[in-house]
Each structure stands twice: as structure tokens, then as C-alpha cells.
């Protein structure tokens, strides 16, 4: 199963919309910024030192999904074994950027069952990129994310991937991002120019620190 570098209406197992700039506009300024972030993260990744990263935004529209998807594609392009998890089970967004040709089971189906996580992870969406979709909006997502099943999933990801990127819901709508960051232990904060308030970023950073999550950086997104 390979990701087609074509508009979303194209046929195939998966297709990418133009906002996946790591594929559609690899020479642009935005893609260069993503690669700069990739370089910073790669310096912290090795087969003996996998990294799990929660991508967090203070508010809806900050661009956490945009950053998570493009960063995952870019790191995979560099040969880093990458797993992208859509853990926003309130308003999932990854499936709107990298679109499967048919609805797929995902995170919520795994968390509600006893199935092996490998049964719902989409391997080799492109070389070195695997995706676990959210599986649609879920009732009581916070309870699902608090379960041992979620922790077991990230333990598996830590063993089998060099980098795991977890997209999270906006922090001002729920505590989900804080729950997720407490498990990944590393977070990236995304803000959007003219859309995110500085005080909201400070509040989110303080909340993540309370959960002992190390913040590797803050991205000002203007896409």
C-alpha cells in the first residue's frame, strides 16, 4: 500500500491532499520548515533511542494535524521508521489529509477490543510510514486514552518504530492532550499566527510540564 502523490480524488489505497506539502510542494518554504524540524528530531532518534512525540495545539485550528502529518511524511522520507497515530477521537483529522480508499478501523476500535494493535495499524502507507487512524469519533475518548490498552500501544510503538508521532485534540476542549503527553513524555506545541493567543500557549506549556512532558519546541504555523 503506497501513498499516492496525487489529489484526494485519485484512486489507490491512500491519497494525499495538497496540504501534505512534504509530498506536493517539497521545495516550498513550508516544506523546508518541516524539514528543519525533522532535522532537530532526527538528532534525538536512533534504533537504541526511539522517540514518541505528542503534537499539541492550544485551540482548534492551530494546525497540530497539519504539522503531525507533514512531519511524519518528512521523517519517513528520510528513512526513519515512523508511526503516525491520530489520537483525536473527538474530531479526527488525519484521514482528511491522507485519505484511505475505504473506511478503516483504528485507535478506538483497538482500545475497545482485545485485538492486536498490528491489526489496525496501516503499514507502509509510504516507505517507512505507518498510520493508525482514529477510527472515527468516539464516545468517552478520555476514558479510552486512560486505559492500559493505550499505554500498551505506545509500548509496542516504542519497540517497533524509530519515531511515533501522536496527533492530539485541542487542549482548550479537553484534557486528552495532557493524558497523551503524560505517556509519550515528549511534546511539540503548535500555534497559529493570528489565531492562537500567547497566553493559551503558556497555559498549555505549563499543563504539559505538570505531567512531566518535555517540550522539544513550539511551532508557529501559518498554513
The stretch 189-205 carries a mean pLDDT of 88
Q: What is the pLDDT of residue 12?
A: 41
Q: Are 39 and 28 in contact (CB under 8 A)?
A: no
194 versus 32: the higher-pLDDT residue is 32
The 10s digit of each residue's pLDDT in 38-60 is 998 888 877 778 999 999 999 98
98: left (phi over 0), alpha (psi -120 to 50) or beta: beta
63 pLDDT exceeds 80? Answer: yes
Q: Are 111 and 123 in contact (CB under 8 A)?
A: no
Give the N- to C-terminal CA distance of the chain in Å, as an integer. 28
Residue 126 DSSP class: E
The 10s digit of each residue's pLDDT in 71-82 is 999 999 999 999
Q: Are 82 and 133 in contact (CB under 8 A)?
A: no
Q: What is the pLDDT of residue 211?
A: 81
Q: What residue ranges do the domains of the chain occupy?
A: 3-221
d(CA 130, CA 119): 12
The whole-chain average pLDDT of the chain stands at 89
Helix, strand, or coil (residue 53): strand
The stretch 203-211 carries a mean pLDDT of 88
Q: Please give the class, per CATH, of domain 3-221.
A: alpha beta
11 pLDDT exceeds 80? Answer: no
The 10s digit of each residue's pLDDT in 120-164 is 999 999 999 999 999 999 999 999 999 999 999 999 999 999 999
d(CA 165, CA 53): 5
The separation between CA 125 and the C-alpha centre of its own chain, rounded to angstroms, equals 14
- pLDDT > 70 fraction of the chain, expressed in percent and rounded: 94
8 pLDDT exceeds 50? Answer: no
The stretch 64-74 carries a mean pLDDT of 96
d(CA 177, CA 204): 9
Q: What is the pLDDT of residue 223?
A: 58
Residues constituting the chain:
223
Q: Are 146 and 179 in contact (CB under 8 A)?
A: yes
Cα separation values, 51 from 41, 165, 166, Å: 8, 8, 11
Q: What is the pLDDT of residue 10?
A: 34
Alpha helices in the chain (DSSP H): 21-24, 29-42, 64-77, 107-111, 141-145, 148-160, 176-184, 198-210
Q: Are 189 and 56 in contact (CB under 8 A)?
A: yes
Amino acid at each position: 500500500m503506497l501513498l499516492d502523490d496525487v489529489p484526494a480524488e485519485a484512486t489507490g489505497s491512500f491519497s494525499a491532499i495538497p496540504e501534505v506539502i512534504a509530498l506536493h510542494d517539497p521545495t516550498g518554504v513550508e516544506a523546508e520548515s518541516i524539514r528543519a524540524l525533522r532535522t532537530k528530531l532526527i538528532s534525538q532518534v536512533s534504533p537504541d533511542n526511539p522517540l514518541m512525540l505528542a503534537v499539541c495545539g492550544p485551540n482548534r485550528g492551530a494546525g497540530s494535524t497539519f504539522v503531525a502529518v507533514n512531519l511524519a511524511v518528512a521523517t519517513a522520507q528520510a528513512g526513519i521508521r515512523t508511526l503516525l497515530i491520530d489520537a483525536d477521537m473527538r474530531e479526527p483529522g488525519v484521514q482528511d489529509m491522507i485519505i484511505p480508499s475505504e473506511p478503516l478501523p483504528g485507535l478506538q476500535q483497538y482500545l475497545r477490543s482485545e485485538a492486536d494493535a498490528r491489526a489496525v495499524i496501516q503499514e507502509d502507507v509510504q516507505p517507512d510510514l505507518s498510520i493508525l487512524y482514529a477510527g472515527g469519533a468516539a464516545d468517552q475518548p478520555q476514558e479510552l486514552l486512560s486505559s492500559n490498552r493505550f499505554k500498551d500501544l505506545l509500548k509496542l510503538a516504542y519497540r517497533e518504530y524509530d519515531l511515533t508521532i501522536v496527533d492530539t485534540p485541542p487542549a482548550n476542549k479537553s484534557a486528552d492532550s495532557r493524558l497523551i503527553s503524560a505517556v509519550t513524555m515528549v511534546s511539540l506545541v503548535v500555534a497559529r499566527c493570528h489565531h492562537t493567543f500567547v497566553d493559551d500557549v503558556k497555559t498549555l506549556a505549563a499543563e504539559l510540564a505538570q505531567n512531566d512532558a518535555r517540550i522539544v519546541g513550539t511551532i508557529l504555523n501559518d498554513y
